[in-house]
Amino acid sequence: MATQSPRVLTIGIDFGGTNLRVAAYQPEKGVLDSIALATRLHAGPQAVVEDMCDAVLRLLEKHAHVGELAGIGVGSPGPLELPAGRLHHPPNLPGWDGFHLLGEMEKRLRLPIAVESDANVAALAEYTLGLGKELGVDSLCMLTLGTGVGNGIILDGKLWHGSTGMGGEAGHMTIEPDGALCGCGNNGCLEACASATALVNAAELLVATGKAPGLAKLKNGDARLTALTIAEAARLGDKAALALYVKTGTSLGVGLAGLINIFNLPLYVVGGGVAESWDLLSPSLFEELERRSYVYSLTAPGRAASAAMPGGGTRVMRARLGPEAGLLGACILPLYQARSNASEPIGIATRVH
Amino acid sequence: MATQSPRVLTIGIDFGGTNLRVAAYQPEKGVLDSIALATRLHAGPQAVVEDMCDAVLRLLEKHAHVGELAGIGVGSPGPLELPAGRLHHPPNLPGWDGFHLLGEMEKRLRLPIAVESDANVAALAEYTLGLGKELGVDSLCMLTLGTGVGNGIILDGKLWHGSTGMGGEAGHMTIEPDGALCGCGNNGCLEACASATALVNAAELLVATGKAPGLAKLKNGDARLTALTIAEAARLGDKAALALYVKTGTSLGVGLAGLINIFNLPLYVVGGGVAESWDLLSPSLFEELERRSYVYSLTAPGRAASAAMPGGGTRVMRARLGPEAGLLGACILPLYQARSNASEPIGIATRVH
C-alpha cells in the first residue's frame, strides 16, 4: 500500500467592505464549514480583525483534528503593500490607511498567515480550480467586474506582485481620458467605465433625464437598479439597457486589447456580476479585440500564430467559479504560498487541487 | 595566478527597415568593429538575409581569433513569433509576412542565432548596460518613441515574451479610443499619439491649415519637419510647437500610468528620438502619472510605499544609451540567451557586462 501524504487543513478569509466570510478547507473535500458575518467597518480596523480572528479560532476548534494546518489565507481589499501586508488609502475601507493587516493578525493568532488582494485570490482560484486548470495554461489575467474592477495576473505560475505588491491594477488603466471620474481620482479608468457601479450609474442617469422609460418602469421606488435588472430589460428588448451593456463590452474590449498587446497570455478571464451577462457584452468586446489588438487578431484560436499556444490560442472567457472565487482563493492561498516559498511555481502537474 | 575565463565574441545585427548594422562585440571591450548597409527591402527578404549573413562572415573572418563565438544576436522589426522566429505582417517590412527569419539565417550560417524584436534588444541593453545597471533593478519596462513606439519588458531579470513572443506591445495600447489611425489598424494607439511620426504628422497638419506660422517658417521646402526641429522651435518660445510636446507627454503619461498600475515595476525607461526632448515632454507626463496612477502616487520616490523598492521608488526616466541601444542589445543577446537557457535570470551579480 502506498504511503498517504498527510492531510492538510487551511482557513480562508474573504474580507469585503460589507461581508466577512471565513471557511475551513481541505484540498480533497473543498469547503468543510464556513462563517458569515457583517464587516463592522464603523467599529474600526481592530474590531474587524478581532472578528476575523475569532471566526478563525472557532473553525480551528471544530476542525483542527482533520489535518495539519497549512496556514490562513486572507483576500483583502487593496491597495495592499506586500510583503508588509499594509493597506494604503483603501477606497472601500475608510479609516484603514496605513493599517498593518498582516501584522495585527499575526500578533493575535501566532499562526502562519498569507495576505493577498481580493482580486489576486480570485485569480488564483480561477487558475487553480477553474478555467486555468481546465485549459492547462500557466499564465492568465483576470478582471472582476463588480463594485469596482479587480485584477489579478498570474505569470508562469506565479501571482504577479510587482515591487510593492501593487501590480495587477488594470482596473485603473485609463480607457477614456476624459471619461467619468473614478474613485481613485482619475477620469475614465476601466473601473469607471465597466464596473457594475458604472453600469448602474449610467442607467440611473438615463432614467433621471427621462431617456430610458423602460428602465424607469423597472425601478422599485427609491432603490437603485442592478446590473441584473438592466440585463433582464436588455434581453426583453429594451434598447437603452442593451446599449449600456454594449458600451460596457466596448470599454472592457479597449482594456483587454491593451492587456493582450502587453502580455500575450493564453487566457483572459472576466468575472464578477456584470460578466454574468456575457451574452450581452461579449459581441462588442470581441469586436474591439479584433480592431484594437493585432496580437489578438494573430493569436485568436485558429489564427496564424495560435498553433503553439497552450489552450489553442488567446482565449477571452467568462469566469467559471462565480462569486465563490474569492473565498476559495483565500482557502488555497496558504498552499500556493508554501509552494511559492519553495520557489516552485504552481505548474500544471503540481496544482494544489 | 587565477585562471582567466575564456574570452567570448558575439555578433550583433540591428535590422531596421532602412538601415542594417552588424557589429562584432566583446563584453570586455564593447563594439570592436561594425558594418553599416542600406536594407535592400525592394530586393526581398532573401536578399536582405544574404546581406546580413555576408556581413556576419566578414566580421567573423576578421575577429574570430579574439575569442570563442557565443552566438549571433538579431534585433528585428516585429511582430515576431517566438520561439519560431517568424514574422507576421510586419508593418515596416512589406512582403515579409510569414518569413522565417531565424530559420533562413540558421540555414545559411549554421551558427547559434538568437532573434528578438528590436524593442526587446533595446530594453535588454538599457537593463544590462544602462539605467537598469545604474539603479540595480531587476525589472523594467521600456518605451522607445521613434518611427513607432517600441516596447520591451523585463520581469525578474527575463525578457517577457508571452505565449508567442508577441508580448511587450504597449505601443499599441489604446490611449484615445477615437484618436488618430495607427498603422496597426486601431485608432488612438500610444504609437499614433506619442511617436515621432505622430508628432511630426500633427505639426505638418497645423502648418498645412495655417495654424502654426512659426513652424511653417522652419520648413525647408517640401521636406517634412522633424521632432528635433519642432523641439528647437518650442525652446525658442513657439507655442504651437510646445503644445505638441505637451500633448505627447500627456499621451505618454496616460500609457505609462496604465503600465505602472498593471506592473508596479521600479523602472520605466523612455527612449527614442522624441525622448531627447525630455525637458519639453516630462512636465505633462508626470502630471498625468500623479493623476492617473495611484500606484505611482503611492510609490514615487519618497512616498508612503516607496521605501522597500530597489532604486528607491517608481522611477520614470529618459534612456541612457541613446540610438546605440538596439545594436548593443543585439550584441549582448547571445550572452543573455545562454544564461536564460540555463534558467538563470540576469541578476545584478551576473550581468553580462
CATH of the domain at B194: 3.30.420.40
Asked, for residue B16, whether it belongs to a domain, the answer is: yes
What φ, ψ does residue A12 adopt, rounded to 5°?
Answer: -115, 140
Residue A353: Cβ within 10 Å count:
13
Mutate to test the interface with A, among B158, B176, B294, B306 (most CBs of A within 10 A): B294
Mutate to test the interface with B, among A173, A267, A344 (most CBs of B within 10 A): A173
Smallest Cα–Cα separation from A72: which of A11, A116, A122? A11
Q: How many domains does chain A have?
A: 2
- Decide if B263 is inside a domain: yes
Residues B103 and B138 in one domain: no
- Tell me, yes or no, whether B125 lies in a domain: no
Calculate helix-pair angle for A227-235, A278-292, nearest 10 degrees. 90
At how many degrees (to 10) do helices B227-235 and B278-292 cross? 90
d(CA B150, CA B165) in angstroms, rounded, equals 14
pLDDT confidence of residue A1: 47
Dihedral-angle region of residue A237 (phi above 0 means left; psi in -120 to 50 means alpha; beta otherwise): left
Q: Residue A81: helix, strand or coil by DSSP?
A: strand
Residue-wise pLDDT tens digits, B286-311: 999 999 999 999 999 999 999 889 88
Q: What's the mean pLDDT in B325-341?
A: 92
List, in sequence order, every beta strand (DSSP E) within chain A.
8-15, 19-26, 30-38, 68-76, 80-81, 86-87, 113-117, 140-145, 149-155, 158-159, 267-271, 315-318
Stretch A93-103: mean pLDDT: 95
B190-193 long-range CB contacts below 8 Å, 24 or more apart? B190/B143, B190/B149, B190/B251, B190/B252, B190/B255, B191/B148, B191/B149, B193/B247, B193/B248, B193/B251, B193/B252
Please report the pLDDT score of residue A297 as a whole number: 96
Helix (H) or strand (E) holding B193: helix B190-194
Q: Which of residues 81-100 of B touch A (CB under 8 A)?
A: 81, 84, 86, 88-89, 98
A254, A263, A298 ranked by CB distance to B79: nearest: A298
Q: Residues 135-154, chain B: which have Cβ within 8 Å of A?
A: 139, 151, 153
**Identity of the residue numbered B348:** I
Asked if B138 and B265 sit in the same domain, the reply is yes
Is it the case that residue B353 has pLDDT exceeding 50? no
Q: Is residue A182 part of a domain?
A: yes
Residue A219 has pLDDT above 80, yes or no: yes
Question: Helix and strand tally (H, E) in chain A?
Answer: 12, 12
To test the contact with chain B by mutation, choose from A264, A267, A285, A291 the residue with the greatest count of B C-beta atoms within 10 A, namely: A264
Report the alpha-carbon distance of residue A170 to residue A190 in Å, rounded.
8
* Residue B346 confidence (pLDDT): 57
Average pLDDT value for chain B: 94
Question: Is residue A90 within 8 Å of A28, Cβ to Cβ?
Answer: no
Within a domain: residue A126?
no
Least confident window among A117-126, A298-307, A332-341, B149-158: A332-341
Q: Are residues A172 and A276 in the same domain?
A: yes
A196 touches A274 (CB < 8 A): yes
Say if residue A195 is in the same domain as residue A292: yes
Q: Are residues A94 and A167 in the same domain?
A: no
Percent of chain A exceeding pLDDT 70 equals 95
With a cut of 80, say whether residue B42 has pLDDT above it: yes
Nearest 10 degrees: CA dihedral of B107, B113, B114, B119? -80
Residues linked to residue A33 through DSSP beta bridges, in sequence order: A24
What is the reported pLDDT for A33? Answer: 97
The whole-number pLDDT of residue B308 equals: 84
Distance CA B153, CA A73 (A): 31
- For residue A23, name the pLDDT band (cuts at 50, 70, 90): very high
Per-residue pLDDT averaged across B148-177, rounded? Answer: 97
- Kindly state whether residues A50 and A155 are assigned to the same domain: no
Residue (of A167, A172, A292, A288) closest to B254 by Cα position: A172
Q: Do A292 and B186 touch (CB under 8 A)?
A: yes
Q: How many A-B residue pairs are in contact by the CB < 8 A criterion?
A: 178
How many residues in chain B?
353
- Do A262 and A311 lie in one domain? The reply is yes
Measure the CA–CA gap between B185 and B203, rounded to whole angstroms.
22
Pair (A185, A157) in one structural domain: yes
Does residue B160 belong to any structural domain of this protein? yes
> Which pLDDT belongs to residue A350?
41
Residue in B165, B172, B299 closest to A261 by CB: B172
The pLDDT mean for chain A works out to 94
Tell me if B276 is assigned to some domain. yes
Q: B 287-306 residues with CB below 8 A of A?
A: 291-295, 298-299, 304-306
Mean pLDDT of A196-225: 94
Q: What is the residue range of B203's domain?
A: 131-320
- Mean pLDDT over A244-248 rounds to 98
B123/B144 Cα distance (integer angstroms): 9
Band of pLDDT at residue B281, cut at 50, 70 and 90? very high
Query: Binning pLDDT at 50, 70 and 90, where does residue A3 land?
Result: low
* Residue B353 domain-assigned (yes or no): no
The 10s digit of each residue's pLDDT in A49-87 is 999 999 999 999 999 999 999 999 999 998 999 999 999
Chain B touched by A79 (CB under 8 Å): yes
Residue A152 CB-half CA count within 13 A: 32
Residue A315 burial (CB count, 10 A): 21
Do A176 and A144 contact (CB within 8 A), yes or no? no
- If asked whether residues A70 and A205 sit together in one domain, one would say no
Q: Say yes or no: A105 and A155 in one domain.
A: no
